[in-house]
Amino acid sequence: MNHASTIDPAETDEIDEAVFVARIEAFHEGRCRRWDDVDPTADSNDEPAGTDLDGLAAARQYQSALADAGLAGLNYPSEYGGAGLTQRHQEIFTRIAAAWHRPDGPLSISHGMCLPMLNQYGSHEQKVAHMADAIRGSVVWCQMFSEPGAGSDVAGLSTRAIRDGDEWILDGQKVWTSGAHYCDFGLVVARTDPTMPKHQGLSMFIVDLRTPGVEIRPLVQISGARGFNEVFFDDVRIPANNLLGDVNQGWNLAVSMLMFERVSIGAGGGVFNAKRNPDLIQLAQDLERSDEPLVRQALADLYIREEIKGYVAQRIRSAVAAGRVPGPEGSIAKLTGALVARRTRDAAMAILGTSGQAFGDGPTAEKARRWSDFCISAAGISIAGGTDEVQRNIIGERVLGLPKEPDPHKGAAWQDVPRN
C-alpha cells in the first residue's frame, strides 16, 4: 500500500524546503526527543541493529507511522511502496531527522543496507515482493557476509550454493550477523563456482530465514548483549529467482553493500553518530574535573573531531541522497567515525578514572556505568563494516593511487588456494 498521497504532488517537481522541513519536524514532535535532550550513553549497550524485541516493536511503530505520513522511502518508486519523490526530498529528510532520537535502530541494516541493494539490483518481481513491506518496517532484513574463516577477507568465504533445477541449495555458516534473531529475510553471499578466482565465483541471494535448514544462534557478549548471531545453513533450498543480480557477480554487489554499511556507520544517524562532547563536558563538571588542563585539552580535541566528522557525514549523505553508490568516501566516513569513537572512549575514561571501572552508589554511578558500557562497545566500531586497516587500504589504493598489496594467489581458482 502506498501512503505517499499525503504529500502535495507539486513537491515532487519543485521543493518548498521550508514547508517540507516543517512537515518533518511536525511528525517528530511528540514522538521523539531531540538529541540535545538525550543522554547518548543511555543506548550505548545496544548493537547498531538493536537487540531487544521491545526496541523492535517501537521501531516498527515509528516506521509504520512514518509510512502513513508519506515520509518513508521518499526516493523509492511508488510502485514498490515508496513515496515516489526525489533524491532531494530524501537528502532534506536525512539532514533534519538526524537531529531527533528516533527509535529506528533495529531497522538500520534493513533500511540502510538491504533496501538500497534491493532497489538498485533487484528485479521488478523482487522489488514488488519485498520493498513495500521493508519500507513500512513490517518485514526486517539483515546481511550475512562474515564467516569463521572469512572476516576481513570476505571474498574468501566458503558457504556454498549449488544449483538444483529451479532451486539453489545453500550450505555453510555465517557469523557476527547483527539482528538475525528477529529478522525475516537476509541477503547472503555464497560461493557458486569454486573453480573461479575467489572474487569471481560469488553470488548474492535473498533468503527467507524461516526456511527449513536455517538455524540462528545468538552470541552472548561479555557485556551481556545478544545483538550478534551465528547462522547455519543445512541443505537450505531457495528458489532460483531469489538470486539478486547475476550469477558469479556477487562480489560487485557485496562491495556496494559494504559501502552502504560504512556510510551507515560513519555518516548515519542514531547512537553511534550522536555528538557526545556536551555530555562529557557535563560529566567533567559533575566530577569537578572540568578545570584540569588535560581534561580540557581532550574535550577540545574531541569537539574539533566531531565537527569534522559531521561535515564528512553531511557530504556523504548528500551524495547518497543524490543516488550515487558510495565509493571510497564511505571508507573515509567510517574510518573517521571509528577514530572519533576511540577518542571519545579515551576522554571518558580519563574523566571517570577508577569510577569508570568500579561503580559505587553515588549520584554519578549510573552515568559512569553507561559510559563504561560505551567504552566497551567503542572498539567494535573499528571492526564493523571492515576493519580500520581495510579502510586504510581502500583509501590508499582508490584515493591516493598507491599500489595494491601483493597477492601470491591472484588469479588462482578458489578451490586451489590453501586455507587454514
Distance CA 175, CA 150 (A): 10
pLDDT in tens, 350-409: 898 887 777 667 667 777 888 888 888 788 888 887 888 988 998 999 899 999 888 888
- Cell digits for 33? 526527543
CA pair distance 248, 299, nearest whole angstrom: 49
Among residues 310, 306, 312, which one has the least CA distance to residue 278? Answer: 306
Backbone angles phi, psi at 39, to 5 degrees: -80, 110
Mean local confidence (pLDDT), 313-332? 74
**What is the model's pLDDT at position 5?**
38
Exposure string for 354-363, b = 16+ CB within 10 A, e = fewer: ebbeeeeeee
Reported as a single tens digit per residue, the pLDDT across 229-281 is: 999 999 999 999 999 999 999 999 998 888 877 777 766 554 455 567 788 88
pTM: predicted TM-score of the whole model, two decimal places = 0.84
According to the model, what pLDDT value does residue 407 have? 85
pLDDT of residue 11: 46
Which of 104-108, 185-189, 275-279, 376-380 is predicted with the least confidence, judged by mean pLDDT? 275-279
- Active-site residues, by number, are 261
Residue in this structure with the C-alpha cell 539490483, named with its chain if needed: 121
Q: CA-to-CA distance for 263 and 333, rounded, in angstroms?
A: 6
Cell of 394: 581502500
What pLDDT was estimated at residue 363? 67
Residue 305 has pLDDT above 60, yes or no: yes
- Spatial contact of 40 and 112, defined as CB atoms under 8 Å apart: no
Higher-confidence residue: 410 or 249?
Answer: 249
**Residue 248 to residue 147: CA distance in whole angstroms:** 19
Compute the chain's Rg from CA coordinates: 22
pLDDT for the residue 253: 95
334 and 391 in contact (C-beta within 8 Å)? Answer: yes
State the average pLDDT over residues 222-234.
88
Cα separation, 71 vs 93, in Å, equals 8
Write down the H helix ranges in 207-292. Answer: 250-267, 277-286
Could you give the CA distance from residue 89 to residue 78 in angstroms, rounded to a whole number?
A: 14
Please, are residues 358 and 230 in contact by the beta-carbon 8 Å criterion?
A: no
Q: Who's near 384: CB < 8 A, 6+ residues apart?
A: 48, 261, 265
Residue with cell 515482493: 129
Which pLDDT does position 60 carry in this prediction?
95
| Per-residue confidence (pLDDT) for residue 239, from 0 to 100 | 98
Segment 27-43, tens digit of pLDDT? 999 899 987 776 655 55
**Greatest Cα pair distance in the chain:** 72
HSE-up of residue 212 (Cα within 13 Å, Cβ side): 2
Can you tell me the distance from the alpha carbon of 229 to that of 279, in angstroms, rounded to the nearest whole number? 32
- State the number of CA atoms in the 13 A half-sphere of 157 facing the CB: 30
Domains and CATH numbers, the chain: 11-106+133-138 (no CATH), 259-398 (1.20.140.10)
CA dist., res. 52 & res. 106, Å (int): 9
Of the candidates 222, 228, 183, the one whose C-alpha atom is nearest the C-alpha of residue 206 is: 183
Please determine, for residue 318, whether its predicted confidence score (pLDDT) is greater than 80: no
* Pairing mode of beta strands 141-144, 185-191: parallel
Mean pLDDT score, 31-59: 67
Residues 6+ apart with CB under 8 A from 229: 175, 176, 177, 178, 179, 180, 181, 216, 217, 218, 219
The helix (H) or strand (E) run that includes residue 206 is: strand 202-208
| Secondary structure in 3-state letters for 56-86 | HHHHHHHHHHHHHCCCCCCCCCHHHCCCCCC
Mean pLDDT lowest among 119-128, 153-162, 350-359, 360-369: 360-369
Give 255's contacts (C-beta < 8 A, 6+ positions apart).
none
Type of residue found at 152: S
Highest mean pLDDT among 97-106, 115-124, 305-314: 115-124
Amino acid at position 254, single letter: A
In terms of pLDDT, which residue wins out, 418 or 61? Answer: 61
Give the cell for residue 4: 505517499
Summary mean pLDDT of the chain: 86
